[in-house]
Amino acid sequence: MSTDAVRADGPAGATGSGDGPEGAVVDHDYPVTPVPAHARKSLFSLAVVLLGFTVFTPTMLAGAQLGNAFPLADLLWVILLGSLILGAYVAVLGWIGARTGLTTVVMARYTLGTSGSRFASLLLGGTQIGWYGVIIGTIGALTAQAFGWESYAAEAAVMIAASALMCVTACYGYRGMYWVSLVSTPLILVLAVWVVHRSLQEVGGWSGLADVDPDGSMTLAVAVTTVVGTFVSAGTQTPNWTRFARHGWHAVLACCIGFLIGNGLMIFFGAVGAMTFGEGDFVLVLYQLGLVGWGLFLLFGNLWKSNADTAYAFGVAGAAMFDKPSKIPFVVGGSVIGTVLALAGMHEHLVDYLVLLGIFVPPLGGVIIGDYLARWRRGMPEGARLPSYDVPVLACYVVASALAWGSDHLEIGIPPLVGILVAAALAYVVGRARPGAAAGAGETPVASAR
């Protein structure tokens, strides 16, 4: 790491308190610096935000695919296995985020180099802008369907208005997302459970649901990949929120609540809807029941908080990429780009987009995990000299991504899992082979939660 080295201080590094030169806080969300102890949040607060992040209506579309392919007993095992893989991966990243107080893209500076980390910012920020566009387009399309609008202008107006609301929420940062999640998530879960109850009435209870004979087919590997792929991209950015945790175990527990329980439940809800009504999206199930008002409530309440989280993610990615102390310009700019993508019909290509995310994003989280365990367990120190490009670790990412791509195209193994494990293993081996692998000795580590 000695070639072309630069110091990781100032906006480009992981040091400081997030305050300006006169001590005035530039951005209370500390997008490019460690979250200080006084700004850390409680376990309850963190769990609310992450649960609000994963209680996500489009996740039920993935559940619908599973519900059409597996009987109830096999379905439960598929959801459990996929959720365990996703939850474990996200929990490790979340734990690292809590210990360092850093976002994923800032941690990538220590892993990929100060310039190499711009690739992480581009990958994570860019994919989230695309996802933002998918959700804005979904809101417009389903609203038009609910009211029978044939005018594209009316549909576009809904997209623009919804995007503006989500953009403003993201600009308020952690605080805005917390309050939206606190209000909307319990109501959405109550409504979802009520519809599951109605679904069971349609088929004669749990025994009737168990007797449903699916008319589709799917291999176990593809099914588990579908579960993991629902949130592996966003899960890679979990440190954006867990860096606010007061303790590392708080981050792990909050990740389990959000990604293991919350995400798993949404997949199950979608599967039940598909098995009983032939429809995996609960909003459309409510439409079929004649509950258009409640359907729109579920739609806007759910996607408002989830897409605000998405806008926040590409906001902090942009701040890190361009070494700026505030996320707000990037939240606004990314929201505009995402809205343009929505107006162009990006939501109609959701499946292809999710496949790409499931292949190329997980290896990034893998190299961060492996490199952290090999070199940065004592902390990511202030004043560490970092290369512009850490070529060996970048090579680990490329190899892991290529193997994940091959796993998908050859239908061997589970592509996201292949990418994560190969990337983590290679980065760990490369890191331990270097002198002073457990970096940080004799230097001051950044603030961390134990």
Percentage of the chain exceeding pLDDT 70:
85
User: What are residue 398's phi and psi, to 5 degrees?
Assistant: -60, -45
Please state which of the ranges 3-12, 138-147, 261-270 shows the lowest mean pLDDT. 3-12
Please state which of the ranges 28-32, 92-96, 336-340 shows the lowest mean pLDDT. 28-32
Please report the pLDDT score of residue 21 as a whole number.
42
Please report the pLDDT score of residue 63 as a whole number.
84
d(CA 180, CA 158): 20
Please state which of the ranges 21-30, 79-88, 175-184 shows the lowest mean pLDDT. 21-30
pLDDT digits (tens, 9 = 90+) for 21-74: 444 445 566 777 888 888 899 999 898 888 877 877 767 777 887 888 888 888
pLDDT digits (tens, 9 = 90+) for 383-434: 678 899 999 999 999 999 999 999 888 888 888 889 999 999 999 999 998 8
User: What are residue 30's phi and psi, to 5 degrees?
Assistant: 45, 60
d(CA 233, CA 360): 9
**448 vs 4, higher pLDDT:** 448
pLDDT digits (tens, 9 = 90+) for 243-256: 999 999 999 999 99
Residue 226 has pLDDT above 70, yes or no: yes
3-state secondary structure of 297: helix
Per-chain mean pLDDT for the chain:
80
Instruction: Label residue 348 by pLDDT band (50, 70, 90).
Output: low
d(CA 252, CA 55): 18
Query: Which amino acid appears at position 22 of this protein?
Result: E
